Structure 1
Amino acid sequence: MEILRVKEILNEKGWRNKDLADKIGTSENSVSAIVTGKKFPKPETLVKIADVLDIDIRELFNPSKSVDLQEIFTKDENGNLKSVGFIKK
């Protein structure tokens, strides 16, 4: 299993490796190595990647455990359900 989701996120955003490389100031080869899992980036590079992709840094990682969550709702003043978050089952 890949640790990082960089390739998936780039695809979702319609970006190429070169687009990311240009924005974080590195080579396309370095980004390619990160995307393919051949190289793990330094923490400061992870921060740059998350910043230019406009995502929380945690979104770069695949979850290491599957957690069973239950969504919790409340009713607003009109009686409509509104999600307030998740709890572990």
Structure 2
Amino acid sequence: MEILRLKELMIQKGMSREDLANKVGVSMTTISNINSEKNLPTIHLLLQIAETLNVDIREMFVPTKGTAISQLEVEEVKDFLKRSLKILEFEK
């Protein structure tokens, strides 16, 4: 299961990797690596992406409308956020 729904949200919003990359100030490779979960975005970048896509940041992880999530999905999101926070602390 993919933790981030970035690719799905980009399709829904009709936004290409190039468009998103330009709007948030990163390379297309960065967006591609986030999509494939090769790299984890910082919380700051995640917030920029959510704002650019005009979605609640929670929608980056799970659909917020009419969809129940499993405990496994909750745990995967928690793990993702913990890893992201560790990266953020390391970058200070």
TM-score by structure 2 length? 0.67
Gaps of 5+ in 1: 68-89
Amino acid at match of 1:66: S
- How far residue 14 of structure 1 moved from its aligned partner, in angstroms, is 1.3
- Structure 2 gaps of 5+ residues are 64-68, 72-92
d(CA) in 1 for partners of 2:10, 2:41:
16
Q: Which has the higher contact order (CA 8 A, sep 6+)?
A: 2
Percent identity between the two aligned chains: 45
Larger radius of gyration: 1
More strand by share: 1
Deviations 1:27-74 (A, max 9, x none): 0000000011111100000000011111100000037x428xxxxxxx
**Residue correspondence of structure 1 range 1-89 to structure 2 within 5 A:** 1-62=1-62, 65-66=69-70
Whole-angstrom CA distance in 2 between matches of 1:56 and 1:31? 19
Q: CA RMSD in A?
A: 1.9
Higher helix fraction: Structure 1 or Structure 2? Answer: 2
Which of structure 1's runs of 4+ aligned residues deviate more than 4 A?
none
